Structure 1
Amino acid sequence: MEKDWVSIYSTDNPHTIAMIKAMLETNDIHAIELDKQASAIKIGELELCVRREHVIKAKYLITKKLL
């Protein structure tokens, strides 16, 4: 991953990642998913990353959404 991208959220639930990614993109924050799960058995984490300049806003929006 390039150094401009920062992991801001991780989970093993793909639906949660999709929901948060959509919410961030609605707020003009481009996000990418990193799939670190073993493909056959789906053990591991999914990470959501944003550009360094959007980290604070993205974390704020995630906290606000998940509360």
Structure 2
Amino acid sequence: MAKWQSIFTTDKLYRAEIVKDFLSDQQLQPIIVDKKDSAYQLGHFEVMVTSDEVLRAIKIIENEIKFE
């Protein structure tokens, strides 16, 4: 069973989706974990990849994805 690690955290779902889609285009298999409390809308979203994809995913995020 693969171990998953968080590589990107945001409070905006659309940003998590952008990162997930970009990583998917690079042949990685990311998932989004919703850690928001539905009653209060507190929390965040995490994009996670398997532990063997962590370094590659972080480099892609740092070098290729920019949010203003």
Q: TM-score, normalised by structure 1?
A: 0.88
Q: 1:3 to 1:29 in 2, by over 3 A?
A: closer
Q: 1:28 to 1:3 in 2, by over 3 A?
A: closer
Cα distance in 2, alignment partners of residues 32 and 12 from structure 1: 16
Give the structure 1 partner of residue 10 of structure 2.
11
Moved segments of 4+, more than 3 Å: none
What is the number of residues matched between the two proteins? 66
Aligned-residue identity in percent: 27
1:66 partner SS: coil
The unaligned stretches of length 5 or more in structure 1 are none
> RMSD of the TM alignment (CA)?
1.6
Q: Spell out, residue by residue over 1:1-49, the C-alpha distance to the aligned partner (whole angstroms, 9 max, x if none).
A: x761111110100000000000000000001111110113321111110
